[in-house]
Amino acid sequence: DGGITQSPKYLFRKEGQNVTLSCEQNLNHDAMYWYRQDPGQGLRLIYYSQIVNDFQKGDIAEGYSVSREKKESFPLTVTSAQKNPTAFYLCASSVLSAGGSEQYFGPGTRLTVT
C-alpha cells in the first residue's frame, strides 16, 4: 500500500518539552516537506528536503528542526523554543520536476501543547 504516513494522529505535550513528529513515505519521492496549518493561514512551509542528508529552512523554521537520514523518512522536532507550537502539522512528498509536480500529503498530526 503506497503512500505517505504520519504518526501519531493526535499528540499532547507539556510546555517546555521537545516532541518529534514522524513522517514516512514509500513513494520513492526525492522531496519531502513539512507544513504548519493554522485556521485562516493556509499552509506555511517549515522545512523541506530534496535529497538525503540535506534540508532547507522554509518560511517559519524558527523553533523547529528536521533530519533526513533516509529517503523514506523526514521527522520534525518541535522544540521548546517554538513559541506557539499548538497546530496541525502536515508532511508532504513529491518527485523533483523542473516543471513543478503534485504534492502528496500525509494525514497530519494535531499537536496540542499546554
Partner 1 sequence: GENVEQHPSTLSVQEGDSAVIKCTYSDSASNYFPWYKQELGKRPQLIIDIRSNVGEKKDQRIAVTLNKTAKHFSLHITETQPEDSAVYFCAASTTGGSYIPTFGRGTSLIVHP
Applying CB under 8 A, which residues contact partner 1? Answer: 31, 33, 40-45, 48, 50, 56, 58, 90, 96-103, 105-108
Work out how close the CB of 44 gets to partner 1 at its nearest, in angstroms, rounded to a whole number. Answer: 8
Which of 108, 96, 104 is CA-nearest to residue 3?
A: 104
Shortest separation between residue 2's beta carbon and partner 1, angstroms: 15
Q: Cell numbers of 14, please? A: 507539556
Nearer to partner 1, 63 or 108 (CB): 108
Instruction: Compute the C-alpha angle 40/29/105, nearest 5°.
Output: 25
CB of 9 to partner 1, least distance (A): 10
17 or 38: whose CB is closer to partner 1?
A: 38
Give, rounded to a whole angstrom, the gap between the first and last alpha carbons of the chain. Answer: 36
